[in-house]
Amino acid sequence: MASDERVVRRQIGRKGSMARTWLLMGSEGQRQMVEASRQLIMQRTGLTARDFRILDPMLSYSSTIVGRDRAIVLNLEQIKAIITAHEVLLLNSRDPSVIPFVDELHAQILHHHTTVTDHPQPQGLDGKDKGEMRQDSSRKKILPFEFVVLEACLEAVISSLENEANILELEALPALDKLTSKISTLNLERVRHIKSRLVALTARVQRVRDELENLLDDDGDMAELYLTDKLAQKKFENSSTFSSMNNNGDDMMMNRVLQPNIVDRTGHEISLERGGDSTCDHGDYENVVGEEISGTQAGTVYSGVTNVSELEMLLGAYFVQIGGTVNKISALSDYVEDTEDYINITLDDNQNRILQTGVQIGTASVILNCFVAVTGVFGMNIHIQLFDDGGMKEFLGTIFGCTGACVILYFLAMLWYKKMRMLE
């Protein structure tokens, strides 16, 4: 390992509890090998036992990206991780297929930490100011930590699937062309193995694509992935609650003083909106004010939901990339199916030719048996007039006559077969 890596092995959890090895990687680039029980990970990340079933290697779960209150549970191909706003926990970091991803993720986290250090984000900004700061063209856009890890995971998984698709395509096209030119058992076995890999790869790519599509279709699910914003919102709400408790008495007094003026002014405005009548009953006023309060509360709830356009663009880019892989695999699958159709047509044509040859041979055998019957008559030890009166001339005439008759019968049978469309 590199000199800047800090790998520490610790035992966490009660003695006797079932622990797993996790790679803990912080937002500043430090990483540790940790053995922790499920209960302690649940306390650290706020996840439930049901969420851990997604990461269980003994269970077959499809590709999943799900957001919780304090963490993101990610299960994509070989990558199984728990992402929080400040750290990431990898379950199978020692897998040979995951080791290159771990190094790449560590490099991206270090780069993100350097970027954040060089361009610190202002503190105490509300949602509007944060949006303006993120859209500021004079400085580089900085993604939150959880999105950096999520992007690294998507990049590793989708690039791996795309690489497998390219390798399979390079192997499949020559094998299919060779099978087309020469149908043999060896070529058929190669194509069968390639098709099995293609079917498995198609299912894997489709699972990742479906998960991204489901996320993009639901803004609520994408909003759950904004861990940093949710954490900042929670701190803001806690500070606001503390401030409102201190100023509660003053606010109640101010409301009592201003309420009559507000009622009179609002009643007058409502009467003008309803036709210019200066009188307005108390019931109508309460209904309108209630509607305005409900609309205000709904707007407050909606404004509390994180703007998902940033994540939508991030996921959309990888959705387009995985879509290109799906199209490539679909084209390769169509080529395999076309080759299979061609092979089946060729085999059917060969089978038809064999059947036609069998008909021709069978007809020739029947006619030849008639000639054999004539030969058998001559071979019998019986007395016939041809032996007494005839000589060699009559004997040869009989032989050639039977032969000609057999040939004529054969050609007549072939003409009849063609007329009945039994032969081409």
Q: Give the whole-angstrom CA distance, residue 216 versus residue 313.
A: 9
Extract the residue ranges of the chain whose pLDDT is less than 50: 1-17, 123-139, 252-305
CA distance 335 to 177: 10
Contacts of 65 (CB under 8 A, 6+ apart): 72, 73, 74, 75, 76, 150, 211, 212, 215, 225
Residue 412 lies in a domain: yes
363: containing domain? 351-420
- pLDDT tens digit string along 108-140? 999 999 988 877 655 444 444 444 444 444 345
Tokens 């003994």 belong to residue: 58
pTM of structure: 0.69
- 225 contact partners, CB below 8 Å, separation of at least 6: 65, 67, 72, 146, 147, 150, 311
Find the angle CA(166)-CA(168)-CA(171) to the nearest 5 degrees: 110
The answer to whether residue 383 is domain-embedded is yes
- Strand partners of residue 11: 35
Domain annotation covers residue 207: no
Other CB atoms within a 10 A radius of the CB of residue 367 amount to 19
CA-wise closest residue to 85 among 228, 229, 236: 228
Per-residue confidence (pLDDT) for residue 286, from 0 to 100 = 38
Report helix, strand or coil for 22: strand
Q: Which two tokens stand for residue 244?
A: 């409102």
On whether residue 16 sits in a domain, the answer given is no
Query: How far is Cα 366 from Cα 20, in angstroms, rounded to an integer?
Result: 80
In a domain, 321, yes or no: no
For residue 208, the tally of other CB atoms under 10 A from its CB is 23
Is 417 exposed, middle or buried, given 0-12, 13-18 or 19+ CB atoms closer than 10 A? Answer: middle
How far apart (Å, rounded) are the C-alpha atoms in residues 332 and 155?
23
- Residue 138 confidence (pLDDT): 39
Neighbouring-strand partners of residue 80: 75
- Which of 234, 210, 216 lies closest to 308, judged by CA? 216
Closest among 335, 330, 326 to 174, alpha carbons compared: 335
Length of the chain, in residues: 424
Burial class of residue 283 (count of CB atoms within 10 Å of its CB; 0-12, 13-18, 19+)? exposed
- For 76, other C-beta atoms within 10 Å of its C-beta total 24
The answer to whether the beta carbons of residues 312 and 216 sit under 8 Å apart is: yes
Beta bridge partners of 36: 20
Residues 6+ apart with CB under 8 A from 146: 72, 83, 84, 85, 225, 226, 227, 228
Q: Is the separation of the CB atoms in 80 and 88 below 8 Å?
A: no
Q: Is 261 a domain residue? A: no
Listed residue (106, 108, 113, 156) closest to 6, CA to CA: 106
pLDDT, tens digit, for every residue of 302-311? 334 457 888 9
> Percent helix, strand, coil in the chain (nearest 5)?
70, 10, 25
Cα separation, 342 vs 177, in Å, equals 11
pLDDT score recorded for residue 324: 94
pLDDT value, residue 125: 44
Classify residue 164: in a domain, yes or no.
Answer: no
Structural domains counted in the chain: 1
Check residue 145 and give its pLDDT: 93
Report if residue 235 sits inside a domain: no
